[in-house]
Each structure stands twice: as structure tokens, then as C-alpha cells.
């Protein structure tokens, strides 16, 4: 398997959930070997179970009930957007049930969303009606240079061809617009400590495993330039933490606690200051840069 970025031969990292993960010894980019057809994969992976605690999906324990925590995490990033673009038109790629679209709308932005999950899009709030497209990035129908800000929050690692999708989004972004990407940092302290049990090592839903260097590279190859970086901790429900522990973390204790703790206790929110989530603010390359 050749590296997506530098085309050099990759080496096996480990096998998890029946999928092989490889890493490039040259640039460090990690990648899942997804053997299924990607379009078929999208349909079965991001159905109801992905958002409601199906252990085979290894995703959310209850996306709807965890809304307050998900939005709280989004607000950390939204504050940066308000600083650089106090008003404007926003597109959230991989918007799921439209929580970020709702957040932006309540603060006066003209906000839209895009997602490939029929289940998630069908459950978006009525305030998002007519604002969310059920489509892939490639199939999205928007006018060129029609957005001031485009966000991909915990989405970039799910894309089959992130460089190609970035190029498509480049056409939708205004020349003075900003691209905001949040993803896991495979070189973070926590990622190094946990190894295969790191929460972002979730094949097959996560297809790429970036660090600051490799994320910068794919941006630059798509005619973007990073202009700012920051990290965030996250608010998570205890239910979600235990769900991650029993799936991604491969923990029997996590599974036991998930099964025996009452639902009322599992609704408790906890702040996890791991800071293994990196956020980059990028813009279109200047003609003289």
C-alpha cells in the first residue's frame, strides 16, 4: 500500500476491527486499508447504529442525547470563527444532525450543512430545513465562491480522498474565506501513550490518521495555507466514554461498566483535557505565496 501523500511504500502498523492500518515511514501518515466500495461503505456505516451505540460501529453511544456536550465542544471552535469572520455564509461538511448549523444560525450566520448519512440528515432540527444537503462533497450542489467559512469538524479523517474533497471545497470558498479542520493528532502525547487503543484508531470509519505535518501537507497540495493552530479538550458523556472504552479501547472493564451503570449516571458529562484534537485554520494560497 503506497502512501497517499508521498507515494512511498507504507509499512503495517497493526490490525484492528479486521482492518489493516499502515503508516508511511517517510511522512508518518497513517491509513486504513478499506477493502469495501466506498459508496457502499458510506451507506451501511453511517446508519442508525452509528449514532445510537452499535458496538460494531464504535462511534457515538447516543448522539441525540449527547447534543449539549457536542455543541459545547463546537462552541470552542465557533469562537475562533466569530473572531475571523463575525458574519457571513458558513458550510459545515459532515454536519450529521445539523448541530453546528443550528449554532451558527442562532448567532446570525447564513449557515448550511452537508452530510452523507440519510439517517442523520433526516433527524436535523426544523430550523435547518432546506439548509442541509444529503450528498458527498463531490456531489454537493453549491455555487462557486459562495461561502465565507467551511468547516470539517471530526470529519476529515473519514474521507476517502481528502485532497480531492479539499480541491472541490476550494472552489466553493470565497477568496478571503477560511477553512477550519478539526481532527485527531496521531503524534499527540495521548496517541503515543495509548497506541492501538487511541480513540481515533477506529477503522473502518477513520480512514486517515494525521498529525500537524501531514495535515499541513494535504492542505498545501490543495492550494490552502495553514495560518493558525490550536488544540481543544472535550466534554463527553460518561456513556460515550465507556462506549469508546469498550470499542476503540478494547476494554472489558469498559464493557462491564457500560452494561451495569444506570442510564441516569451515564448521562453525566465529564471534561477530558486530553488535547489530542488539533484544529487548523487555513485560507486559500495567495497568488504571490
**Short-list 113, 120, 121, CA closest to 142:** 113
Q: How far apart are CA 109 and CA 105, in angstroms?
A: 5
pLDDT of residue 24: 98
Residue-range domains of the chain with CATH: 39-183+233-284 (3.40.50.150)
Contact 275, 233 (CB under 8 A): yes
Largest CA distance in the chain: 61
Mean residue pLDDT across the chain: 95
User: pLDDT tier at 287 (50, 70, 90 boundaries)?
Assistant: confident
pLDDT in tens, 133-176: 999 999 999 999 999 999 999 999 999 999 999 999 999 999 99
Residue 57 has pLDDT above 90, yes or no: no
Long-range contacts of 160-165 (CB under 8 A, 24+ apart): 160/34, 160/38, 160/207, 162/208, 162/218, 163/4, 163/218, 163/221, 163/222, 164/138, 165/93, 165/137, 165/138
Closest-CA residue to 201 (of 53, 25, 32): 32
Can you tell me which residue has the cell 440519510? Answer: 118
Average pLDDT over residues 127-132: 96
pLDDT in the model for residue 286: 83
Q: What number of other Cβ atoms are within 10 A of residue 213's Cβ?
A: 12
Q: What is the pLDDT of residue 288?
A: 65
pLDDT in tens, 247-270: 999 999 999 999 999 999 999 999
What is the tens place of the pLDDT at every residue in 92-122?
Answer: 999 999 999 999 999 999 999 999 999 999 9
Whether the pLDDT of residue 289 is over 70: the answer is: no
18 Cβ contact partners less than 8 Å away, ≥ 6 residues apart: none
Amino acid at each position: 500500500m503506497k502512501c497517499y501523500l508521498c507515494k512511498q511504500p507504507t509499512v503495517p502498523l497493526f490490525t484492528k476491527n479486521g482492518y489493516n492500518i499502515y503508516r508511511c515511514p517517510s511522512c508518518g501518515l497513517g491509513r486504513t486499508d478499506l477493502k469495501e466500495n466506498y459508496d457502499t461503505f458510506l451507506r451501511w456505516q453511517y446508519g442508525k447504529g452509528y449514532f445510537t451505540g452499535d458496538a460494531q460501529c464504535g462511534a457515538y453511544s447516543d448522539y441525540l442525547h449527547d447534543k449539549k456536550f457536542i455543541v459545547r465542544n463546537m462552541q470552542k471552535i465557533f469562537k475562533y470563527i466569530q473572531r475571523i469572520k463575525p458574519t457571513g455564509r458558513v458550510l459545515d461538511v459532515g454536519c450529521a444532525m445539523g448541530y453546528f448549523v443550528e449554532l451558527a444560525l442562532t448567532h446570525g450566520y447564513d449557515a448550511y450543512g452537508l452530510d452523507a448519512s440519510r439517517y442523520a440528515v433526516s433527524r436535523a432540527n426544523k430550523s435547518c430545513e432546506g439548509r442541509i444537503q444529503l450528498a458527498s462533497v463531490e456531489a454537493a450542489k453549491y455555487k462557486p465562491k459562495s461561502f465565507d467559512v467551511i468547516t470539517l469538524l471530526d470529519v476529515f479523517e473519514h474521507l476517502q480522498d481528502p485532497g480531492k474533497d479539499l480541491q472541490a471545497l476550494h472552489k466553493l470558498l470565497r477568496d478571503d474565506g477560511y477553512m477550519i479542520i478539526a481532527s485527531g493528532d496521531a503524534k499527540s502525547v495521548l496517541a503515543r501513550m495509548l497506541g492501538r487503543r487511541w480513540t481515533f484508531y477506529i477503522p473502518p470509519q477513520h480512514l486517515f490518521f494525521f498529525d500537524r505535518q501531514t495535515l499541513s501537507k494535504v492542505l498545501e497540495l490543495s492550494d490552502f495555507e495553514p495560518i493558525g493552530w490550536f488544540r481543544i479538550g472535550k466534554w463527553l458523556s460518561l456513556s460515550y466514554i465507556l462506549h469508546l472504552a469498550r470499542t476503540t479501547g478494547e476494554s472489558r472493564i469498559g464493557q462491564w461498566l457500560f452494561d451495569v451503570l444506570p442510564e441516569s449516571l451515564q448521562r453525566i458529562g465529564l471534561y477530558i483535557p486530553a488535547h489530542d484534537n488539533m484544529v487548523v485554520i487555513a485560507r486559500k494560497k495567495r497568488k504571490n505565496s
